[in-house]
A = this chain, B = another copy of it.
Amino acid sequence: MTGHARGGRRPEILETFTRHVAQHGYDRANFGDVAAELGMSKGTIVHHFGTKDRMLAEVQESYMRRRLAEAHAMFARLPGAGERIAALVHAGVRYSADEPATTVAFQREVVRLVDRPGMESARGLRDEYRDLVVGVLADGEADGTFLPGDARLRSLQMFGSLHWMWTWFDPAGRLAPAEVAAEFAVTLLRGLGMDEPAARAAADPAGEVAAVVGDVLAGVVAVSRS
């Protein structure tokens, strides 16, 4: 009756490990606890993933791969720089609400992508994402949507706000995720030099940008799986 499932227990191991990393951090997340929670042996985890490092690398890579694909899908529907930035902010907040464990695990352990053997692939994906954002900021500056400024610095300022969310964000908190995203977006877009009405329109949780983000994250729009 309890035969071996086709996919095996691999997915649930990954999911539980991710949750433990999100809650306690990579160093304190350990095979023993994960195995105990799933009622399996530590050996099973090793069988599927080899080492702890590789398991984290897998979490980071799959996370970044999905985020990149979604970004491209959103950009295909939103040509304006302001709208694209707003979409990334809305999507960023949605990730924290929809997949809190994976998002927190990613954000609190991003630093391990640097100079850690086996993490080159994940780091490459992350660099690609950053370049994407820097490109949008530069485009917006070139076409006059934003005031002149250092695109790289602006991207870091933006990433900081979003990556820090894991320390305080509560999806069931006082403000709904879309409201948090709207506040963040409008402050950021105004800061980049967008005029008030345009910033509000792009950030609007009931507007077109939010709708596109919703469609992409719900899978309504095809997301290319490279």
Chain B residues within 8 Å of A156, by CB? 161, 164-165, 168
Closest B residue to A167 by beta carbon equals B111
Q: How far is the CB of A197 from chain B (nearest CB, A)?
A: 13
**Does A162 have its Cβ within 8 Å of any Cβ on chain B?**
yes
**Do A160 and B154 touch (CB < 8 A)?**
no
Chain B residues within 8 Å of A110, by CB? 167
Q: How many residues of A contact B (CB 8 A)?
A: 33
Of B25, B157, B159, B184, the residue contacting A187 (CB under 8 A) is B157
**Do A160 and B165 touch (CB < 8 A)?**
yes
19 contacts between A and B (CB under 8 A): A149-B183, A149-B186, A153-B180, A154-B183, A156-B161, A156-B164, A156-B165, A156-B168, A157-B183, A157-B184, A157-B188, A159-B164, A160-B160, A160-B161, A160-B162, A161-B161, A161-B164, A189-B191, A191-B192
Q: A interface vs B, CB < 8 Å?
A: 25, 27-28, 108, 110-111, 149-150, 153-154, 156-157, 159-165, 167-168, 175, 180, 183-184, 186-193
